[in-house]
Structure 1
């Protein structure tokens, strides 16, 4: 049976190092059999590839790809505190924030990028409950931010 990291690699995806926090918080913490991540931005090598509002500066498709990067960063944060993604029994909850232009209502489709990535990594154990929230702005002018809660084996 393959590991979550191997399934990601099979899909052409590489788990990055855990991103450094951009303020005073920890990227992930374990408590009571769960691991919780802070909201993860779509940082790649410490920088945002795209900034701006979805539906104005950023297309929904670009934002969906950025949500995928957020999920990769969240998994990197999980791995940093539990040592191996095989320690995750299931993803329980995903909360995503989408900085959208006025009138943009496609938050659920944007967050599918993160949800699909978690399905690749964990199969059926990646199925989760989810909130997709539209906001006026995100840190560093990111178009999307994702946090996850996962149960540990």
Structure 2
């Protein structure tokens, strides 16, 4: 069976460097067998590829792609904390936040971008509990943000 790193490469992706915090927090905190990953924005090469509200300035399809980028950034943060993604036992919970126009209700479909990537990378260990929540705004006018709780060896 392929390792998570090999699956990432098979998907044509590369784990980015961990995005430095934009405020007073750490990207991850490990407590026992769990790694708590702070909310990750969809930074690519240090910039947000899109800003604005989903259902207004940002399409749901673009937002779903950005949610996958958030998950990739979260995976990078986990690797930086534990050293080897093969030490991931399970993705326990994902929190997905969607800055959306008031009439937009497709939050679960947007956050599926993160959930689907986690399933592709971690297989059965990537199946998780989840929340997909609409919010009025997110830091830096990001359309999406994703956080996670991960069980590790």
| In the alignment, structure 1 residue 115 sits paired with structure 2 residue 128 | no
Uncovered stretches (5+) of structure 1, i.e. residues with no partner: none
Tell me the TM-score normalised to structure 1 length.
0.98
- Alignment correspondent of 1:65: 65
**Cα shift readout 1:36-82 (whole Å, capped 9, x = no counterpart):** 10000000111100000000000000000000000000001111111
Moved runs in structure 1, 4+ residues, more than 3 A?
Answer: none
- Identify the residue that residue 103 of structure 1 maps to in structure 2: 103
What's the counterpart of residue 53 of structure 2? 53
Report the TM-score when normalising by structure 2.
0.98
Following the alignment from structure 1 to structure 2, what is the Cα–Cα distance between the partners of residues 141 and 16?
21
Unaligned runs of 5+ in 2: none
- Alpha-carbon distance in 2 for matches of 1:150, 1:23: 22
Counterpart secondary structure, 1:36: strand
Q: Secondary structure at the match of 2:97?
A: strand
The answer for the alignment partner of 2:21 in structure 1 is: 21
**Deviations 1:5-42 (CA, angstroms, capped at 9, x unpaired):** 11011011111111111111110111021011000000
Residue-pair matches, total: 153
| Distance of 2:13 and 2:116 partners within structure 1 | 12
Counterpart of 1:44 in 2: which secondary structure? coil
Q: How does 1:2-151 map to 2 (within 5 A)?
A: 2-151=2-151
Q: Return the alpha-carbon distance in structure 1 between the equivalents of residues 127 and 149 of structure 2.
A: 12
